[in-house]
Amino acid sequence: MADPVTDAATPAGPPAADLTHRRDRRWAIGFILVMLGMWVFYKFALTSTPDVVQEQIQKWLPLTAVNEAIVWVICAIGLNIVVGYAGLLDLGFVAFWAIGGYVAGWFMSWFIGQYNQSVHVLSAAPSTSTGFHINWWIVLIIAGAICALFGILIGAPTLRLKSDYLAIVTLGFGEIIPQVFVNGEDINGFNLSNGTKGITPLDPITALPFGPAFLSRPLGPFDLATKFLLFGIVVAFCVFVSLRIREGRLGRAWLAIREDELAASMMGVPLMRSKLYAYAVGAFMGGLGGVVFAIHVNGVFADRFNFSISIILLAMVVLGGMGNVWGVIVGALALAWINSTFLPQMGETINSSLGTEINFPSYNFLLFGSILVLMMLFRREGLFPETRTRQLIQEPERTQLEDLHADLEGVEK
């Protein structure tokens, strides 16, 4: 990590693998610096700033909003793999978010204790408490795996459908799963999800299950800065996986499928398998997001999972630039912040200064709808597109095609 980052465009040109490693190193350093900077700022610097600044920051950029935005980022990166990389429209991503959340609910709380089962694995919960109490790092993996399994389950029979049918099936899935959880208090007497009451509280998380006290200390509701760092690690994992898969065989297969399914299959790309992997990897990250969200709000609540979450995630991916991880992250952070902080605060500020009673948060429908429509009409490749995506998505003008003597039918897709 101490190596100096040299300019990649040196005339000799290092081998490709080396270049990838170097690129990885470069973003990793930047990422770590940003995370640590934020952490130091919120944990130490903020208290020594003047009161006015502190108040404004608490108002416009509170750490809870930042942490919540991180959840959106994780899920948006997951959705980006399905929509951005593989070009499959998924309108039911909320299902994976919900499943991830409930896995956290089952494995990190008293909940399974009602069936007189108790398991403790490296958890900060007191060892006398009943129920499953598993370390959250392990729960992350379990949740991801379960979601990936569900992704494959829903994908396997439906992925051969045409793209718009597929969108509807995922949408149906995204409607079914939350309803199962809402009604899950009494399925033939079996309590799956505690219904609308939700499962709360969850176990406090720790950075490490053991070790020095400052690392293995259970984090309370006010340790937002430390949680921010830990959630950041999950984001880093998702970014790393996204970027590396993108370079590899599977990622190139996804891009090929996205750009021309038929041509890809002719070139020997296994369509079904690649698409299933896209679903599984995307769902895995959705599961991670679900767990992180459950930890963030200290519980899972069935009625939070609705269709608009799927749409907001889609808007994030579209806004940032489908296929570009960094663009998606920016899109997710921006929209999450607008939704959680900007609209309510703006409403409060304007209403209190002008004496009006405009309900600003209710404008989010208009906002997200307009983002989707306007982006599709005027900047389909997103705010931060990759060159490759831009070329793909911008339709050539008719005259351009005729210049190339191209067959119109062949280019249409």
- Cβ 122 to another protein shortest distance, Å: 37
- Contact call for residues 272 and 160 (beta carbons, < 8 A): yes
Coil vs helix vs strand at 132: strand
Cβ-based nearer residue to another protein, 295 or 313 = 313
45: which 2 tokens? 């610097």
Cβ-based nearer residue to another protein, 107 or 279 = 279
- Cβ 299 to another protein shortest distance, Å: 22
- Give the footprint of another protein on this chain (CB under 8 A): 83, 87, 89, 91, 154, 157-158, 161-165, 167-169, 171-173, 175-176, 179-180, 182-183, 262, 265-266, 307, 311, 314-315, 318, 362-363, 365-366, 368-373, 376-377, 380, 393, 395, 408-410, 412-413
Q: Rounded CA gap, 188 and 22, in Å?
A: 56
Cβ-based nearer residue to another protein, 173 or 293 = 173
Q: Rounded CA gap, 95 and 146, in Å?
A: 12
- Cβ 311 to another protein shortest distance, Å: 6
- Cβ 321 to another protein shortest distance, Å: 13
Cβ-based nearer residue to another protein, 108 or 371 = 371
User: Tokens 């999950």 identify what position?
Assistant: 234
Contact residues for 275 (Cβ-Cβ < 8 A; gap 6+): 86, 88, 155, 159, 257
Is residue 73 classed exposed, middle or buried when 0-12, 13-18 and 19+ CB atoms within 10 A define those classes? buried
Cβ-based nearer residue to another protein, 202 or 336 = 336
Q: Rounded CA gap, 194 and 184, in Å?
A: 6
- Cβ 82 to another protein shortest distance, Å: 12
- Cβ 246 to another protein shortest distance, Å: 19
Cβ-based nearer residue to another protein, 21 or 413 = 413
The alpha helices in 80-135, defined as continuous H runs, are 94-107
Spatial CA neighbour of 144 closest among 178, 101, 173: 101
Neighbours of 35 (CB within 10 A): 17
- Contact call for residues 79 and 174 (beta carbons, < 8 A): no
Q: Rounded CA gap, 66 and 56, in Å?
A: 15
Cβ-based nearer residue to another protein, 216 or 265 = 265
Amino acid at 263: A
- Contact call for residues 99 and 147 (beta carbons, < 8 A): yes
Cβ-based nearer residue to another protein, 56 or 179 = 179
Coil vs helix vs strand at 383: coil
- Cβ 124 to another protein shortest distance, Å: 36
